[in-house]
Structure 1
Amino acid sequence: MAAPVIGISAYAEEARWGREWAMPAVLLPDAYARAVAAAGAVPVVLPPVAGVHAALDRLDGLVLAGGGDVDPARYGAAPHERTGGVLAARDDAELALLEAALAAGTPVLGICRGMQLLNVARGGTLHQHLPDVLGDTAAAAHLERPGVFGDHPVRLDPASRLAALHGATRVTVAAYHHQAVADLGHGLVPAAWADDGTVEALEAPEEPGVLAVQWHPEMRADPVLFRWLAEAAAKRAAERG
């Protein structure tokens, strides 16, 4: 049986390479592709362009990757002064990808921004800046310092799929985010929390192929979620023939 093919949503950023080249580029941290490949699937990078959701017909799974903030207008809020990295084209492309994946029954793994996007797509809202909610000291566990992933423990719901996958109810994760889930979206339930109460994972009880985490499993030796996605994608591929 051929390996399942998993699409990974990508960034659109100004980039430099070589000595002379600097221009807009489609980017994806290497760790995502390597984690998908290590799980036995074929990674495909999905640029944030109009119409990219048509690729779902040829994909067996989807990763919604991390990145800049979701536009607060998507959940009816004005932007906070610390909200940044908003890119309408990426929001549009990923929301279309997510809608197509959910409609088709394609397994989805949301990571960091990807979890927040899932929540917003289901009618939920976000805390735009965690220090406003937790205070600077507590919020530092989620965003230790610019450009560096920090480690902090999370508590998993013992009845969750996430706990079953990890075989544990407490794990240490790599995190880098200043926003978090506020009001839950329709059909979603929290599956993990930081010690400060921040929601760290979401599941959809009626949709076993949907799982999202606030942390970055691709940045640590944490293959569990990518193995789950690859196995679900392989099953999806077999069902499609």
Structure 2
Amino acid sequence: MFRTGRVICVRGHSPHFGFHDRSRRNPLFSIPRSVRSFRLGRRSGLIQKDLRMPRKPLIGINTDYRSSQKNTPALSVVFAGYYDALLKAGALPVIIPPFPENKDLNSNLDQILDLLDGVVMVGGADLDPRRDGYMLHPSVRPMEERRETFDRFLIDKVGERRLPLFAIGAGMQLLNVS
């Protein structure tokens, strides 16, 4: 397809079917070429031309962790409000579970962070103040060790990469001490 003056010509077709008066403002041409999708008239014989739209941002969400009890297995939890808010804002949530500490932790997390445009650190129980050299106050409900260890590692990696970070509750506590 090529343009000549006021006419859009399609090779192998009569030019008047693709006629376009460029003197009138067409909203289609105010959208950058790389993001618009359009269909020329049925008579032109062209199939719809789709150009890729920009992708939605992928935002990682860390999860809360609950260790196994007598009759229940260990599980990771993300409350619906976190990912509903991201979806409403036009982003796609990516769940980041608290990986156990092992030799693959660094590479597994790097692979996930390579895909992300930002991270949300969710709320939960309190950080254990003993890990930072303080006494445990009776009102503190420390989070599971696996989650706290992973979250500290995650926030360090996010900081190294300078990814945008939104911290809520325990995530904000962690951001404060990191």
Question: If the TM-score is normalised by the length of the shorter chain, which range does it land in?
Answer: 0.5 to 0.7
Structure with greater strand percent: 1
| 1:43 corresponds to | 93
| 2:74 corresponds to | 24
> Residues of 1 paired with 2:93 and 2:154: CA distance?
16
Q: 1:32-111 to 2 correspondence within 5 Å?
A: 32-49=82-99, 50=101, 51=105, 53-54=109-110, 55-111=112-168
| 1:3 corresponds to | 56
> Residues of 2 paired with 1:14 and 1:75: CA distance?
23
| 2:22 corresponds to | none
> Residues of 1 paired with 2:176 and 2:121: CA distance?
12
Structure 1's consecutive aligned runs of 4 or more residues displaced over 4 angstroms after TM superposition are none
Q: Is the 8 A contact 2:67 2:144 kept in 1?
A: no
For residue 43 of structure 1, give the secondary structure of its aligned residue in structure 2.
strand
Q: 1:166-205 to 2 correspondence within 5 Å?
A: none
Q: TM-score, normalised by structure 1?
A: 0.45
For the aligned residue pairs, the C-alpha RMSD in angstroms reads 2.0
> Residues of 2 paired with 1:84 and 1:106: CA distance?
29
Q: Is the 8 A contact 1:74 1:120 kept in 2?
A: no
CA shift digits 1:108-148 (9 cap, x unpaired): 00001111100011xxxxxxxxxxxxxxxxxxxxxxxxxxx
> Residues of 2 paired with 1:63 and 1:4: CA distance?
13
1:45 partner letter: I
| Deviation at residue 15 of structure 1 after TM alignment | 8.3
> Residues of 1 paired with 2:88 and 2:68: CA distance?
27
How many residues are aligned here?
A: 117
Q: 1:119-134 to 2 correspondence within 5 Å?
A: 119-121=176-178
Q: Is the 8 A contact 2:62 2:120 kept in 1?
A: yes
| Deviation at residue 53 of structure 1 after TM alignment | 3.1
> Residues of 2 paired with 1:3 and 1:29: CA distance?
21
Structure 2 CA distance for partners of 1:34 and 1:105, relative to 1, 3 Å: same
For residue 63 of structure 1, give the secondary structure of its aligned residue in structure 2.
strand
Q: Quick check: which has more Rg, 1 or 2?
A: 2
For residue 136 of structure 2, give the secondary structure of its aligned residue in structure 1.
coil
Q: Is the 8 A contact 2:123 2:171 kept in 1?
A: yes
> Residues of 1 paired with 2:169 and 2:148: CA distance?
14
Once the two structures are aligned, what percentage of the paired residues are identical? 32
For residue 73 of structure 2, give the secondary structure of its aligned residue in structure 1.
strand
For residue 87 of structure 2, give the secondary structure of its aligned residue in structure 1.
helix
Q: TM-score, normalised by structure 2?
A: 0.60
| Deviation at residue 14 of structure 1 after TM alignment | 5.4
